[in-house]
Amino acid sequence: MTRQNSIVPVALDDRSYDIHIGPGLIRNAGAHIRDAVGDRPLVVLTDSAVAELHLSPLLDSLRAAGSRVLDPIVVPSGEASKDMEKLGEVMDALLSRGIERKTVLVALGGGVVGDLGGFAAAIALRGIDFIQVPTTLLSQVDSSVGGKTGINSRHGKNLIGAFHQPRLVLADTDSLKTLPRREVLAGYAEVVKYGLIDRPDFFTWLEANGKALVDGDDALLMEAIRVSCAAKADIVGQDEKESGLRELLNLGHTFGHALEAEAGYGATLLHGESVAIGMVMAFDLSVRMGLCPAGDLARVRAHLSDVGLPISAAHLGGGTWTADKLAAHMAKDKKVKDGRVTFILARGIGKAFRCADVALEDVKEVLAASLAG
């Protein structure tokens, strides 16, 4: 069983933890969790969609391993659960179950459950341990690495939160079999991002294997998740609290967030889809500024559209979106410092860097070109 799994260590001093990646990890979670935290009481948080598909095997496994398991807490599926009201309900549910400092919260689900559960764990009794069992590709390659937890506010996404590292992550590739293809593709955009930031050989590997991977090839998925987690862990290990280097992980996100803000954060445009379009815009901007060969932009566009991701904003907004509107969202992005937007640009595939010196006119040209298709 465990022989087939990969383990990626995340090295953060006394907050270090392992990410296990492979099939069967939910079915065998009990043993892994006992190895990591002993026989402490456990409480599972999940969402309604994931509960139907993956909660029973997890609970069975935890009980079979002899752990005391409190009643699971189930929130509605979807981004709306990352809010103050749901956080309050989760805190109340935890406290009514009589949790103690040694209780461990197990977050079973995508990034929503991971972020909400991680934040609840960070503040319950001034901090209890938590374990992530991510069940979307996005959460397996992105949100389960690095310890950012939190919820949304009416002022913007992820504005209330804490850094709280999990004690263990179990990324079960079998759980991806029930994930809708569109969600798989959205997660895949973040996988491509790691290649574009600083792993050019990985991007070349994805060009060869990406299509089979998004079609569900287990071995390829495992390898892509392993490299992605290692890539993010490497960056987070050097800059846990995002004082510089970690900003590279925002490649495609400054543009992407503008699209998401205009689309209204929902099913119209998934985060990963906005990142795919945003990465194309970041490469386009780099080319226009004379920093990046046009051939590299062409490869990015070709690969993303090859697997089925959107590469332009032309299909969005029914003709009502303008470059000015999108640029206005960027100026409000939480990453703005002293009125300047830091862009992640690229000197080529695998050569991303931070640049605070970008002309607004160039940005608007890129936005207009993306809207034109």
By annotation, the residues acting in catalysis are 126, 148, 190, 232, 242, 246, 250, 253, 257, 271
Structure token digits, residue 326: 């999108």
CA 313 to chain centre: 21
Q: Which helix (H) or strand (E) holds 131?
A: strand 129-134
Verify binding: residue 49, ligand NAD, rule CB under 6 A: yes
Angle at the Cα of 232 (from 129 to 20), degrees rounded to 5? Answer: 55
Count H helices, E strands: the chain?
14, 11
Alpha-helical segments (H) within the chain = 29-37, 48-50, 56-64, 84-96, 111-123, 137-138, 181-198, 200-214, 218-238, 253-263, 271-288, 294-307, 323-331, 360-372
Verify binding: residue 260, ligand NAD, rule CB under 6 A: no
Q: From CA 116, how far away is CA 161, in angstroms rounded?
A: 9
Query: What residue is closest to ligand NAD based on CB?
Result: 111
Verify binding: residue 142, ligand NAD, rule CB under 6 A: yes
Verify binding: residue 47, ligand NAD, rule CB under 6 A: yes
Verify binding: residue 178, ligand NAD, rule CB under 6 A: yes
Structure token digits, residue 214: 């998004």
Verify binding: residue 31, ligand NAD, rule CB under 6 A: no
Query: Which is closer to ligand NAD, CB of 169 or CB of 220?
Result: 169
Specify the stretch interacting with ligand NAD by CB under 6 A; choose among 35-43, 57-65, 171-179, 328-336. 171-179
| Shortest spacing between CB 359 and ligand NAD, in angstroms | 29
| Shortest spacing between CB 37 and ligand NAD, in angstroms | 21
Verify binding: residue 79, ligand NAD, rule CB under 6 A: yes
Angle at the Cα of 251 (from 226 to 225), degrees rounded to 5? Answer: 10
Number of residues that bind ligand NAD (CB under 6 A): 29
Reduced to 3 DSSP states, what percent helix, strand and coil does the chain have, rounded to the nearest 5? Answer: 55, 15, 30
SS3 289: coil
Query: Which is closer to ligand NAD, CB of 75 or CB of 300?
Result: 75
Verify binding: residue 143, ligand NAD, rule CB under 6 A: yes
Backbone phi and psi for residue 200, each to the nearest 5 degrees, phi listed first: -60, -35
Out of 30, 72, 109, 256, the only residue in the binding site for ligand NAD (CB under 6 A) is 109
Verify binding: residue 172, ligand NAD, rule CB under 6 A: no
What one-letter code names the amino acid at 256? G
Specify the stretch interacting with ligand NAD by CB under 6 A; choose among 1-9, 97-105, 110-118, 197-205. 110-118
Of residues 124, 166, 218, the one with CA closest to residue 33 = 166
Out of 115, 129, 247, 284, the only residue in the binding site for ligand NAD (CB under 6 A) is 115
Verify binding: residue 111, ligand NAD, rule CB under 6 A: yes
Q: With contact defined as beta carbons under 8 Å apart, do 199 and 234 qualify?
A: no
What residue ranges bind ligand NAD (CB under 6 A)?
47, 49-50, 53, 77-79, 82, 109-113, 115, 135-136, 138-139, 142-143, 146, 148, 157-158, 175, 178-179, 183, 271
